[in-house]
Amino acid sequence: MYESNINERYMDLVIETLRDGGIVIYPTDTLYAIGCDALNNNAIERICRFKDINPQKTNLSIVCCDISQASEYARIDNRSFQLLRANLPGPFTFILPASSSLPKVFKGRKTVGVRIPDNTIARLLAERLGNPVLTTSIEWNPDYPEEGCEPESIAMRYENDVDLLIDCGTGELVPSTVVDCTDGNNPEIVREGKGELNE
């Protein structure tokens, strides 16, 4: 399925899988990502288990369809809003103060990473699901770059862990740029990745 040609039958299947607590691999404007319904604790815990993520110690990120949806799950002050509006959709993860509407797996976490990728498929998932998609990048060995960008290699690697993979052709190998906006007046780039931040 490609951004320029959305297969509605496939999209319905992906949304149904997410609503049923399934896990999918999908394209973004950077790396392919692993995602689930961000409000489904069991699905989030399943991802955390096979990726060996401790949600109490690792920043969790969500993909939203737009800033309006993001504002339901993160607290966005005026300065952060201006920054998001200037750079999204785009290859950025903005770390923002978390709101109380996130599920219990986020309990104790004061922040959440927010992504609104410049990728129609990724945004459609959050839009059609009606809430954000928890997201984490796939992992790959730099010595074998095809593991990170070729859908066939990704599918083989994760065949026992995920329910669906959306094949959108060869992906990229550059991650998003991560910007800490917990202090909206002093945004700080904590990981350089794809994209030039417009301030």
For residue 110, what are the CA distances in angstroms to 59, 98, 147?
9, 5, 33
pLDDT score recorded for residue 93:
96
For residue 22, what are the CA distances in angstroms to 4, 14, 19, 194?
25, 9, 7, 29
Please give the Cα distance from 120 to 126 (Å, whole number): 10
What does the block give as tokens for 174? 């550059």
pLDDT in tens, 130-180: 999 999 988 888 877 777 889 999 999 999 999 999 999 998 888 999 999
What does the block give as tokens for 136? 């984490």
Query: What is the pLDDT averaged over residues 182-187?
Result: 88
* 30 domain residue, yes or no: yes
Contact 14, 167 (CB under 8 A): no
* 197 domain residue, yes or no: no
Query: Residue 84 sits in which domain range?
Result: 8-191
* 144 domain residue, yes or no: yes
* 199 domain residue, yes or no: no
pLDDT in tens, 21-56: 999 999 999 999 999 999 999 999 999 888 888 877
pLDDT score recorded for residue 101:
74
Order of strands, sheet of 92-97, starting from the edge strand that comes earlier in the sequence: 164-165, 24-26, 33-37, 133-137, 61-63, 111-115, 92-97, 177-180, 188-191
pLDDT score recorded for residue 88:
96
* 196 domain residue, yes or no: no
Structural domains counted in the chain: 1
* 2 domain residue, yes or no: no
Q: What is the CATH number of the domain that holds 100?
A: 3.90.870.10
pLDDT score recorded for residue 67:
96
* 143 domain residue, yes or no: yes
- For residues 63 and 111, which has the higher predicted lDDT (pLDDT)? 63
Contact 63, 135 (CB under 8 A): yes
Residue 63 in this model has a pLDDT that exceeds 80: yes
User: Which parts of the chain fold into alpha helices (H)?
Assistant: 8-19, 41-51, 67-70, 78-87, 120-129, 146-149, 151-157
* 149 domain residue, yes or no: yes
Residue 17 in this model has a pLDDT that exceeds 90: yes
**pTM for this predicted structure:** 0.92
pLDDT in tens, 69-125: 999 999 999 999 999 999 999 999 999 998 877 766 666 678 899 999 999 999 999
Q: How far from each other are the two terminal CA atoms of the chain, in whole angstroms?
A: 34
pLDDT score recorded for residue 107:
66
Contact 93, 29 (CB under 8 A): no
